[in-house]
Chain A
């Protein structure tokens, strides 16, 4: 069961909500609706599901409704229509008391401008969520400390937010959100106020933390690079509508419409795509079973000038060229290990395209893509260029 399930969630700002919703349903644009009814459609019938442990990014430019959408989910903004299920409980239909309980136990939020209380120390800030729950003093201090240590701020307990840099303040924001041990983290442009280098550090750190925490994270951003970097899946928003939901590769390679296409046009694909996304299934021979004859046969069938050699566990052993195999057949060598080239250009499966150039440009043979020594696939030069052009054969399900 998905942990967050959003069904037909809409928000209209203004008085004439019914009329505005009807117009939105008939496909009118935000401006047309504003002109006709005087109401603004913030979010229009958004539906999506987020699985436990997933980082789901909602991405859009300012005014696209992404911040409204995240606030509809914890009901900081009241939805006009639609449902929000968190672990099967419908937030949109709850009374205040129930809502408070869910906010305390299941949802935590991290804010763009940090939202720290300037009159409270770092520790007191991190304690806030537990404090309003009525957790006793010692226990909440302990939990808050633990969570501050997790983000590397164990030594700043008695400082005030004003004394810390932006990056550190946002760590406090994150620690405060984690102290409650929530199921879901809502992060509203959490890193947008930080300068680029710190932002990248924080993204890495979030990904590291996520490895161990396995929280469900709903991350809002206007920065496509950030979305592609941290998102397991991305929902792209425009004018209150979700225009596409998909993995970073799907969005990059199969844009749903011209808007998304234009959006992803400038993305540096070399930094987004990884080796396993552009590799092909390799032709191989088994060192334990086959000899030069089979190698030559396979190369001819596939039209190759070399072939990769693996053992029965698919661990990469090396490569054999057609010339070497011909030579071996003439000299009646039957054991492949005598003619194998052990030195093969190899990359890990999550190597960025960006880092492939240097390896592939002077390599006479295709690159081997491995994971723990096992051969997963091969990359030829054409695949790299094709992927950069956005047209190559891409294995989106890898």
Chain B
């Protein structure tokens, strides 16, 4: 009796998903190819542009930005200089630029996609009910799994890496946008309505400005998640620091692996502090 499952055939879920992805690949090939081409070219351009900047100048610019963004404090500026000099010294500069491009592009796309979805969720209970479990699914499914359809759609390289990062890193922006707008005090929403605001006026003049710190916290999370995809994306051929970590792993080289890992940590800290400070509420 306890072994009744022996007599039940296993559901062919895996087959269904494979067929579904195949179907998507075939049906939307006309879409995937141009995306791959366009996005790939765009990212090459960005990387080349960044590579063309002499590291010294790049580091100085970052340090100055850091100084002013943190409210004229030296902490982050000094950390940026030391950290970036270290990466340059280790000969990982161009990898750093690759990774930076990947994280930047993925994050921007996440924000462009995530904020409107978050707004939709905040305005419609039905949308919230439908989207929330999808976000849960996106965040809990092991990130490696996304690599498989990513390769199917975009073959290997940096573009499938972006695709996987997108799925993995968008949810926080969506969630925080939704949360931020729903947290705007009832009285302010009432005030906006009572004075005869239209929907878009209420959104852009009241709700989004009031929610911006919460949304920025979400974007910060998104950027960090995108960065955490760097190593995973390198498994399908995305260039950068992640690839160094991966190849060290494959050859069991502790030293180079540690150095590349440390470089990612440095980049992570700089990006994190930057995004935290962009919209920090200094009036408080």
A→B interface (CB under 8 Å): 71, 74, 76, 100-104, 107-109, 111-119, 128-129, 131-133, 160, 162, 176, 180, 186
Residues of A within 8 A of B195 (CB): 103-104, 108-109, 128-129, 132, 176, 180
Residues of B within 8 A of A131 (CB): 205
Known: A117-B188, A117-B206, A132-B205. A109 touches B194 (CB 8 A): yes
B→A interface (CB under 8 Å): 185, 187-188, 190-198, 201, 205-206, 209-210, 283
Q: In the complex, which residue of chain B has the Cβ closest to the Cβ of A114?
A: B187
Q: In the complex, which residue of chain A has the Cβ closest to the Cβ of B187?
A: A115
A279 to chain B, nearest CB (A): 43
Q: In the bound complex, how far is the Cα of B210 from the Cα of A180, in angstroms? A: 24
Q: In the bound complex, how far is the Cα of B210 from the Cα of A176, in angstroms? A: 19
**Overall SS of chain B's interface:** helix
Q: In the complex, which residue of chain B has the Cβ closest to the Cβ of A113?
A: B187
Known: A119-B210, A132-B201, A132-B205. A107 touches B187 (CB 8 A): no
A78 to chain B, nearest CB (A): 12
Contact B190 A111 (CB under 8 A): yes
Contact A101 B187 (CB under 8 A): no
Contact A100 B190 (CB under 8 A): no
Q: In the bound complex, how far is the Cα of B187 from the Cα of A162, in angstroms? A: 16
**Overall SS of chain A's interface:** mixed
Contact B191 A115 (CB under 8 A): yes
Contact B193 A76 (CB under 8 A): yes
Contact A115 B209 (CB under 8 A): no
B260 to chain A, nearest CB (A): 43
Q: In the complex, which residue of chain A has the Cβ closest to the Cβ of B210?
A: A119
Residues of B within 8 A of A76 (CB): 190, 193-194
Residues of B within 8 A of A118 (CB): 210
Contact A132 B196 (CB under 8 A): yes
Contact B198 A160 (CB under 8 A): no
CB-contact partner of A111 in B191, B201, B209, B210, under 8 A? B191
Q: In the bound complex, how far is the Cα of B283 from the Cα of A296, in angstroms? A: 80
Residues of B within 8 A of A129 (CB): 195-196
Q: In the complex, which residue of chain A has the Cβ closest to the Cβ of B191?
A: A115
Q: In the bound complex, how far is the Cα of B17 from the Cα of A26, in angstroms? A: 60
Q: In the complex, which residue of chain B has the Cβ closest to the Cβ of A99?
A: B196
Residues of A within 8 A of B193 (CB): 76, 103
Residues of B within 8 A of A100 (CB): 196-198
A263 to chain B, nearest CB (A): 28
Contact B187 A103 (CB under 8 A): no
Q: In the bound complex, how far is the Cα of B209 from the Cα of A285, in angstroms? A: 73
Residues of B within 8 A of A116 (CB): 191
Known: A101-B196, A115-B190, A132-B196. 10 other contacts (CB 8 A): A100-B198, A102-B196, A103-B196, A104-B196, A109-B191, A109-B194, A111-B190, A119-B210, A129-B196, A186-B194
A164 to chain B, nearest CB (A): 13
Q: In the complex, which residue of chain B has the Cβ closest to the Cβ of A107?
A: B194
B179 to chain A, nearest CB (A): 18
Q: In the bound complex, how far is the Cα of B192 from the Cα of A129, in angstroms? A: 8
Q: In the complex, which residue of chain B has the Cβ closest to the Cβ of A163?
A: B283
Q: In the complex, which residue of chain B has the Cβ closest to the Cβ of A182?
A: B195
Q: In the bound complex, how far is the Cα of B192 from the Cα of A116, in angstroms? A: 10
B3 to chain A, nearest CB (A): 48
Q: In the complex, which residue of chain B has the Cβ closest to the Cβ of A71?
A: B190
Residues of A within 8 A of B206 (CB): 117
CB-contact partner of B196 in A114, A119, A133, under 8 A? A133
Residues of B within 8 A of A115 (CB): 187-188, 190-191
Enumerate 20 A-B pairs (CB-CB under 8 Å) in ascending A order.
A71-B190, A100-B198, A102-B196, A103-B194, A104-B196, A107-B194, A108-B195, A109-B195, A111-B187, A112-B187, A115-B187, A115-B188, A117-B209, A118-B210, A119-B209, A128-B191, A128-B192, A132-B196, A132-B197, A132-B201
Known: A111-B187, A115-B187, A119-B210. A162 touches B283 (CB 8 A): yes
